[in-house]
Amino acid sequence: MIIAIKPGTTKEDIRAFIARMESQGVKVDYSEGASQTVLGLVGDTTGISEETLSAHHLVEKVIRVQEPYKRANRMFHPQDTRIDIPAADDSPRSIGGGQLGIIAGPCSVETREQIVAVARAVKQAGAGFLRGGAFKPRTSPYSFQGLGCEGLDLLLEAKKETGLPIVTELMAIHQLELFDEVDVIQIGARNMQNFTLLKELGCCRKPILLKRGYACTITELLMAAEYIMAGGNDKIILCERGIRSFDSFTRNVLDLAAIPALKKKSHLPVIVDPSHATGLAWMVPAMAKAALAAGADGLIIEVHNNPEAALCDGEQSITPDQFGTLMTVLRKYAALEEKTL
Amino acid sequence: MIIAIKPGTTKEDIRAFIARMESQGVKVDYSEGASQTVLGLVGDTTGISEETLSAHHLVEKVIRVQEPYKRANRMFHPQDTRIDIPAADDSPRSIGGGQLGIIAGPCSVETREQIVAVARAVKQAGAGFLRGGAFKPRTSPYSFQGLGCEGLDLLLEAKKETGLPIVTELMAIHQLELFDEVDVIQIGARNMQNFTLLKELGCCRKPILLKRGYACTITELLMAAEYIMAGGNDKIILCERGIRSFDSFTRNVLDLAAIPALKKKSHLPVIVDPSHATGLAWMVPAMAKAALAAGADGLIIEVHNNPEAALCDGEQSITPDQFGTLMTVLRKYAALEEKTL
Amino acid sequence: MIIAIKPGTTKEDIRAFIARMESQGVKVDYSEGASQTVLGLVGDTTGISEETLSAHHLVEKVIRVQEPYKRANRMFHPQDTRIDIPAADDSPRSIGGGQLGIIAGPCSVETREQIVAVARAVKQAGAGFLRGGAFKPRTSPYSFQGLGCEGLDLLLEAKKETGLPIVTELMAIHQLELFDEVDVIQIGARNMQNFTLLKELGCCRKPILLKRGYACTITELLMAAEYIMAGGNDKIILCERGIRSFDSFTRNVLDLAAIPALKKKSHLPVIVDPSHATGLAWMVPAMAKAALAAGADGLIIEVHNNPEAALCDGEQSITPDQFGTLMTVLRKYAALEEKTL
Amino acid sequence: MIIAIKPGTTKEDIRAFIARMESQGVKVDYSEGASQTVLGLVGDTTGISEETLSAHHLVEKVIRVQEPYKRANRMFHPQDTRIDIPAADDSPRSIGGGQLGIIAGPCSVETREQIVAVARAVKQAGAGFLRGGAFKPRTSPYSFQGLGCEGLDLLLEAKKETGLPIVTELMAIHQLELFDEVDVIQIGARNMQNFTLLKELGCCRKPILLKRGYACTITELLMAAEYIMAGGNDKIILCERGIRSFDSFTRNVLDLAAIPALKKKSHLPVIVDPSHATGLAWMVPAMAKAALAAGADGLIIEVHNNPEAALCDGEQSITPDQFGTLMTVLRKYAALEEKTL
């Protein structure tokens, strides 16, 4: 962290300011130029607030040189992290480190028939994981809120039938006891900065699929991961799912540059959700291909056996047939990227 | 809700579609023009999803005419709601319906001396409520997270000393048992769409200060209020606190047009947080005045006895002296708006 | 400008880099700390590009301490600028330096009857200037594009009838020869970064009303003013008219914090356009009052004698009667701000 | 266009409203449901303003069913448009309709040596076009503004040396006379809504590379194309180059979903500028691959022989060597998309 001191500050004031900074456990490196005095903070500055420093009357500008995250930081962990998920069927799954993870399934679990049928279809097409919402965050209290516990049970039946590991959203920490047989816990965009929940997930040992908040920066997403990792759980899969903008053509703007950005700064795997990002089923194939070309470690795609009758988000769901066709194409893109699908 | 049917659809298909809609409990009003068939949904459409309808292959466009909220809707509750808060001192406080509520205090409770001193100063200047954070949502897990329970105790001491009702943030429902003597529960911007929390607050009977998420629309804020109200708690104070934009000059963009927008659509009181919105103490007076002129029912302002030493958000805090001067000015604006401060 | 040098750079490389910087006419101030070497650029750095510097392989971070504008900068011109506009009637008008300028009129000039009637009405209500579009920037080539030269002639007739100075938009420099009797030239939001046009306006001696682009930062607006001022025309009135966001409730988000921001950084007067910002006539009074309370030096308000029949932007126009009522209220707010309306 | 009439409106008022609409040359289709009366406008509604209609006191809501553009609309021109550009060397170039166009070169033309060297290098690597700025739109009047006419001359020399068609930006219509030997005229993001310029380009017969404004919607980009096409020039190449957002990690957010969006709605070719979008050279390869995978018809990439010494935008330029390596990779992606590079 570099602090430019306001011109005209006395040496005495600067000395007192340095003493105060050093009492907070960092070393301060003083350099006085002809017209500008600059301080450099050396050591672990993750706990030092730029905002607090900026409020000080001696301070002209503050610049953070080091990133404010440690455990998620590639600087301290140069190799890609690979998340391994044990599977009931013959083949264990991995996401990251050259392994692509394809997660597919309906937005909401609706009936036993539906979830088992979709599970079988996406497994046959080559998906590695089944997704399905049991607890659904909905903008309106009057919209379908998911089947809850019953939905979880249906998901577990589909898991038993197909051997596919399951990915489903947790909305509150008290639901965790129901998630024993869930393989990957999804944290939705609206909970990305629910810091109490993030802290509690630090104590959990399951992989966490952490979706980027729809108006959160790359750095904030990594800080949310850091919250979980600081608690001891480093099995985090980051997910880009679109950010808000001024254009309503697509539901959100899919920020594919987030993939190289996140992978440059962090060792964690990054997957993409083209379904929620665009909200339009006909765009999913183009965006899925683009995500792999941009370096994604996987995809999470909504697949529904009857999108028109879906209880939520039908407009963005593709059919099992369309998913099968897409997977055939994606295998070629995976090969170009030298990744295993 | 109006549904434009795709040209070329057969009458039989339309009839089947209508039957399906009516099975969901709405009446469907059919009107066939020379070139466009249009359906109107009559009755309570709050549970009907525009997205699901849009996914149907017969549907060209869907337009919602009625707002998707009921209890927060001014249409069904034309009078302004006034929230009355009992106070330990001589005078009960109200927000809304012509009564301005001024909430002031530090971002974080730090020490007994600090909070009591600030409480006394803001009370003397005319604030009606004391704010102070005990549980703090911070972007970094390594930043000061608030004093927690100890912070709450200090707030209650300040309440005892001054009689000021207190406003403080709740981050998770399990903290509720600690909030017995808290007068107004604040829900922060990052939890505005924590739907599980909102539902649980529906069972609570304390007033809720609900801050707008930094990338949430006016309608989403009202839907968040609706979540709480649907549970039976209609004591909601809405709070505009700035939204994200492309310009980093101010921390957020304070959307003062949200005040007339919210008051047109809803009967709930609306207050403004100029401190978090701008992040700059020197802007607080101008934005506080503008908020009252735009019709706000109150303000929540950060006041710290020593902003440079504040453990968080010092850059946006004004001093007790500055607050006193501001209150003198605000009284004149309140008078112009014919409101009681 | 402060440049943090990458750790591990040799002294020789730094010396060569400094020599190259100094050859561009700035003095470089060298300060070497124990772990970080920092360079400070002294002198006029407005021509030095942060981006070019950032691309250099020795450079870790670049921070601009001084603002990149000079003539628009309050640092070099502490007093408020007041723009005086001579008027055909008895009283000259001013905007800035304690003088409020109220500009009112229809979005587009449509007929002689319309513009003269509106001009008379707004003058009687106390407006200082008449606005009306002759050349209209429209999103669609098939929309009404304004009456052009004929519209200008009608505006000048209204000026002759009422003595009101007129404000109208110039879309291309070749139109300038038609603007001889126009009193204030408006540059629309879509042309705020039409740099060729801005440079040419530098040679003009009429006051320029420069609207903020709908996705331009505070700094970019001041740089646009700087383009005109660098050419020798310093009669610039800045105008906040709303920026784009994710919420479509209002057409744009009116950024009233831009007023204190611009007035802190610059000596130029700042006015507000509540009509275009919100796009909703019923919001104009609240936002007009708020703008004055936030420190605006004036307003530009759409007034139409028959908003429902307006050829453009009727939804945001108020009637002459509503304008008269509003002016009565605004006088009280002007008085509180100790400004002359 | 569908117009929902306010409940309670008399038949007489509706009849008068219909008569007024029909006098504007559209047929109005009346349909009266039990609780909602709806009008449908039939015929060419591109000249009808939704905003004007919305201002009418009888109108509840207005919904546009047809897109407001005609010539750019795929509905009236189902085949992909292919832009053919004659070239001085042996092979003519095309963009669109299965032909990929790769445009490469420096942000600014600086010297004869530079531009000729870059031209040779990018040609050898397989670029089809040379780009280089002579007239540069810069945020600051004190930044390097391009070499102007001299820059154009140097570009033409590079064209003569290599046979590469050239692409360069036009900032004002009076520069057109200098562009005789320019092959493709680029219109920058800041001029995308300079409607006077767009109209004048309608009379020109050269291909226009039209960049999306950094805060313009998909529809606005197509309307800007429509302005040029309405004048008779239908050789438009659309270019996605990033939009503004709240995150400053990348300079802009590259909206790759704009590719399928534009290609669904329009027959015009769509290319992508990964250099300006991200502002970071190390991201260009990932984003270039993703653009092709998303269906782009080409790319415009900044290549500089010495990015660190570039007079502008060095941070985002790749070297000729890096460009050569990238082209080898892009050929594989082009093959997967069955396009000719």
- pLDDT tens for each residue of C76-104: 999 999 999 988 766 789 999 999 999 99
Cα angle: D284, vertex D290, D292; to 5 degrees:
105
Nearest to D190 by CA among D157, D213, D223: D213
Interchain pair A171, B195: CB under 8 A: yes
Q: What does the pLDDT profile of chain B (341 residues) look like in tens digits?
A: 888 888 889 989 999 888 888 887 888 888 777 777 888 887 778 778 777 788 888 888 888 878 889 999 999 999 999 999 988 766 789 999 999 999 999 999 999 999 999 999 999 999 999 999 999 999 999 988 999 999 999 999 999 999 999 999 999 999 999 999 999 999 999 999 999 999 999 999 999 999 999 999 999 999 999 999 999 999 999 999 999 999 999 999 999 999 999 999 999 999 999 999 999 999 999 999 999 999 999 999 999 998 887 777 778 999 999 999 999 999 999 999 999 98
Report d(CA B337, CA B331) in Å as an integer: 10
- The CATH architecture annotation of domain B2-63 reads 2-Layer Sandwich (3.30)
Interchain pair D249, A218: CB under 8 A: yes
Q: What is the pLDDT of residues D108-140, one digit of tens each?
A: 999 999 999 999 999 999 999 999 999 999 999
Report d(CA B283, CA C257) in Å as an integer: 7
Given a contact cutoff of 8 angstroms between Cβ atoms, the answer to whether A119 and A154 are in contact is no
List Cβ neighbours of C11 (8 Å cut-off, separation of 6 or more).
Answer: none
Nearest to C191 by CA among D137, D174, D272: D137
Can you give the pLDDT at residue D89?
A: 66
Report d(CA D228, CA D232) in Å as an integer: 7
Of A249, A286, A290, the CB nearest to D217: A249
Name which residue leads in pLDDT, A68 or D294.
D294
Chain C residue with CA closest to B294: the answer is C286
DSSP string, A3-59: EEEPTT--HHHHHHHHHHHHTTT-EEEEEE-SS-EEEEEES--TTS-HHHHHHSTTE
Interchain pair C227, D141: CB under 8 A: yes
Statement: D76-336 belongs to CATH 3.90.550.10: no
Can you give the pLDDT at residue C178?
A: 96
Instruction: Tell me what percent of chain A is helix, strand and coil, each rounded to the nearest 5.
Output: 40, 20, 40
Q: Shortest Cα distance from A6 to chain D (angstroms)?
A: 26
Report d(CA C133, CA C27) in Å as an integer: 49
**pLDDT over 70, % of chain A:** 99
Mean pLDDT, range D260-283, rounded to an integer: 97
Q: Does residue C34 surpass a pLDDT of 80?
A: no
Interchain pair D310, C55: CB under 8 A: yes
Going by their DSSP bridges, the two strands B83-85 and B93-95 should be labelled as antiparallel
Cα angle: B274, vertex B280, B284; to 5 degrees:
40
State the helix-helix crossing angle for A320-336 and D320-336, rounded to 10 degrees. 150
Q: Please, which pLDDT band fits residue D312 given cuts at 50, 70 and 90?
A: confident
* Chain C residues touching chain B at CB-CB below 8 Å: 215, 217-219, 243, 245-250, 253-257, 259-261, 264, 277-278, 282-283, 286-287, 289-295, 332-333, 336
Going by their DSSP bridges, the two strands C208-211 and C184-187 should be labelled as parallel
Interchain pair A36, C215: CB under 8 A: no
CA C262 to chain centroid, in Å, comes to: 10
Report d(CA C116, CA C125) in Å as an integer: 14
DSSP class of D318: B
B45: helix, coil or strand?
coil
> Letter for the amino acid at B10?
T
DSSP string, A210-224: EEPPTT--HHHHHHH
Given a contact cutoff of 8 angstroms between Cβ atoms, the answer to whether A203 and A220 are in contact is no
Can you give the pLDDT at residue D60?
A: 86
Residue B84: its H or E element: strand B83-85
Q: Does residue A150 surpass a pLDDT of 90?
A: yes
DSSP class of A309: G
D208: helix, coil or strand?
strand
Of D140, D226, D227, the CB nearest to C46: D140
Find chains touching chain B: ≥3 CB pairs under 8 Å: A, C, D
What CA dihedral angle connects C71, C77, C83 and C84, to 10 degrees? -120
Q: Is D309 left (phi over 0), alpha (psi -120 to 50) or beta?
A: alpha
Interchain pair C29, A31: CB under 8 A: no
List Cβ neighbours of D12 (8 Å cut-off, separation of 6 or more).
Answer: none
Nearest to A213 by CA among A194, A197, A190: A190
Mean pLDDT, range C116-144, rounded to an integer: 95
Q: Give B-chain residues touching D247 at CB under 8 angstroms.
A: none
Mean pLDDT, range A316-340, rounded to an integer: 96
Of D38, D244, D248, the CB nearest to B2: D38
Can you give the pLDDT at residue D293?
A: 98
Nearest to D165 by CA among D187, D184, D178: D184
Report d(CA A159, CA A129) in Å as an integer: 9
Can you give the pLDDT at residue B90?
A: 66
Q: Which residues pair with A104 in a beta bridge?
A: A130, A301
Given a contact cutoff of 8 angstroms between Cβ atoms, the answer to whether D155 and C61 are in contact is no
Q: Give A-chain residues touching D69 at CB under 8 angstroms.
A: none
Name which residue leads in pLDDT, A338 or B26.
A338
Q: Which residues pair with A298 in a beta bridge?
A: A101
Residue B224: its H or E element: helix B218-230
Given a contact cutoff of 8 angstroms between Cβ atoms, the answer to whether B66 and B44 are in contact is no
Can you give the pLDDT at residue C309?
A: 77
Interchain pair A142, B314: CB under 8 A: no
Mean pLDDT, range A89-105, rounded to an integer: 91
Q: Does residue D173 surpass a pLDDT of 90?
A: yes
Q: Give C-chain residues touching D315 at CB under 8 angstroms.
A: 51-52, 54-55
* Average pLDDT over chain D, rounded to an integer: 93
Q: What is the pLDDT of residues D210-264, one digit of tens each?
A: 999 999 999 999 999 999 999 999 999 999 999 999 999 999 999 999 999 999 9
Both tokens assigned to B280: 């700059």
Both tokens assigned to B238: 């809405």
Of A56, A191, A312, the CB nearest to B308: A56
Q: What is the pLDDT of residues D10-54, one digit of tens each?
A: 989 999 888 888 887 888 888 777 777 888 887 778 778 787 788
Nearest to B44 by CA among B20, B19, B18, B67: B67
Domain with CATH 3.30.70.1140 in chain A: 2-63
Residue B275: its H or E element: helix B274-278
Report d(CA C237, CA D119) in Å as an integer: 45
* Chain A residues touching chain D at CB-CB below 8 Å: 215, 217-219, 243, 245-250, 253-257, 259-261, 264, 277-278, 282-283, 286-287, 289-295, 332-333, 336
Report d(CA C331, CA C337) in Å as an integer: 10
Can you give the pLDDT at residue A40?
A: 84
Domain with CATH 3.20.20.70 in chain D: 76-336
DSSP class of D231: T
Report d(CA A228, CA A40) in Å as an integer: 30
Nearest to B103 by CA among B315, B242, B303: B303
Given a contact cutoff of 8 angstroms between Cβ atoms, the answer to whether C61 and A3 are in contact is no
Can you give the pLDDT at residue B107?
A: 94
Report d(CA C315, CA C148) in Å as an integer: 22
Least confident segment among A84-88, C335-339, D221-225: A84-88
List Cβ neighbours of C330 (8 Å cut-off, separation of 6 or more).
Answer: C102, C288, C289, C292, C299, C341
* Chain C residues touching chain A at CB-CB below 8 Å: 2, 4, 27, 29-38, 40, 42, 60-61, 63, 65, 215, 244-246, 248
Neighbours of D282 (CB within 10 A): 14
Given a contact cutoff of 8 angstroms between Cβ atoms, the answer to whether B319 and B108 are in contact is no
Report d(CA B238, CA B222) in Å as an integer: 8
Q: Does residue C215 surpass a pLDDT of 70?
A: yes
Report d(CA D228, CA B82) in Å as an integer: 56
Q: Mutate which of D244, D246, D250, D256 to test chain A, going by most A C-beta atoms within 10 A?
A: D256
Can you give the pLDDT at residue A20?
A: 83
List Cβ neighbours of C124 (8 Å cut-off, separation of 6 or more).
Answer: C324
Can you give the pLDDT at residue B52?
A: 78
Can you give the pLDDT at residue A312?
A: 73
Interchain pair C31, A31: CB under 8 A: yes
Q: Shortest Cα distance from D138 to chain B (angstroms)?
A: 18
Q: Is B73 left (phi over 0), alpha (psi -120 to 50) or beta?
A: beta
Query: Cα dihedral sign for B310, B315, B321, B325?
Result: negative
